[in-house]
Amino acid sequence: MKFLFFSWLAVFVGSWVVYVEYSSYTELCRGHECKNTICDKFQKGVIDGSACNSLCEKDTLYLGKCLSAKPSNQVYSGSWGDMEGIIKCQMKEDPHYDLGFELEPRKESASFSRPTKGTSMQKFKEMVFNHLKAKVGDQANLADLLTLVLGVADSNKDGEISLSEAHSAWALLQLNEFLLSVVLQEREHTPRLLGFCGDLYVMEKVPYVPLYGVSLPWMVELWIPASLRRSIDQWATPSWPRKAKIAIGLFELVEDVFHGTFGSFLMCDVSAAGFGYTERHDIKVVDARQIVPEVGFQEVMRERRCEEDTDCLYGRDCFTSCDLTKHRCTTEVTQPNLAKVCSTLKDYILYGAPSDIKDELDKQLYACIALKGASEQMEMEHSLILNNLKTLLWKKISHTKDS
């Protein structure tokens, strides 16, 4: 009798697990819907882009393994001819998902209605210029950023932007990740944009993701102690000199987005899952949706109502404070990008560090984590600590083959 009971219990639990996993998969992984929607718009002449023919007619752009974490943002590994890539597509958001406050507009699906038919090229340039100005602020070199965006929009490189290409470019410009890929396209820390069709786009695949940590089945995650989990994550990391090179790359990324060529960006999710690295141990951003223009962030937070500081959070890591006299969030983040990066890197880079620099490295990391966004001396302290950390690590690995 006991045997029958436990057999029935095992079957019940197993069936429930399979059902939950399948339900979760079907909600998260809707790549076929995304492809059908995009290709329908392409075949009707509404959108165009460098990936459209391959996706919709030649079938040489293939959606492979589903990597989606949210139904509204479809992510797949895939192949495009002989290139491996990551394919991202925006989808209708399920109403029962509460995904929180976002800077990116929430819409059922991209209508691709802007610019309207009859819009001149000059008018489209003005639309894009004003949008970029609202996003990154009135930068002196905003015209250069406009030129970069228009260069990407001209997907067939014929020197002209058709209405269907303009529809795709305008939809993509609403996405933080696309904007950052244009802003940092000459830098090595963001994957290359390989192509697009509507608001579906293909990025270069990063070989090693996440930055650190081992993916375990969710049932194992439930029972494994946090201390053992951290140990497992550390065992799976590269050698220390290679970790040092990865860390230097992440510090360089902070420099790129802090008072960069086209304004400042805030890193609002600095978790290990948002980064990866190449065979040469060069850091790459794999999820830039939460790296947002500071000007746009401040504009939105200024209008946000609050009762306490915890109401003033964007993403995972961008906190401001609540002005209780106005019940509005303030616009200055409490922690700069560098402090958040140091917090993420601390255990990773200290584990296995050479004994002759470990104490100094620990000291510099703690000073880094203590940085405050509103401090009058923040920029000077920021630059000093950033240079100290890079110099300390670089001196230790510059003579090794890992450098």
Q: What is the pLDDT of residue 331?
A: 95
Q: What is the pLDDT of residue 71?
A: 87
Cα–Cα distance, 290 to 102 (Å, whole number): 9
Q: What is the pLDDT of residue 200?
A: 97
Say whether 277 sits in a helix, a strand or coil.
strand
105-162 pLDDT, tens per residue?
Answer: 544 446 799 999 999 999 999 999 999 999 999 988 999 999 999 999 999 999 999 9
- The pTM for the full model equals 0.85
Average pLDDT per 10 consecutive residues for the chain, totaling 403 residues:
51 40 61 95 97 96 92 93 94 45 50 92 97 92 96 95 97 94 88 96 95 72 70 80 96 91 93 94 94 94 95 95 96 95 96 96 96 77 94 91 62
* Maximum distance among all Cα pairs of the chain, rounded to whole angstroms: 81
Q: Is the peptide bond before 210 cis (omega within 30 degrees of 0)?
A: yes
Q: What is the pLDDT of residue 101?
A: 45
Cβ-Cβ contacts under 8 Å for 333 (sequence gap 6 or more): 266, 318, 319, 320, 373
Q: What is the pLDDT of residue 132?
A: 96
Q: What is the pLDDT of residue 6?
A: 47
Q: What sign does the CA torsion over 172, 75, 254, 322 have?
A: positive
CA 317 to chain CA mean position, Å:
13
Tokens of 95: 């109403």
Cα–Cα distance, 79 to 63 (Å, whole number): 7
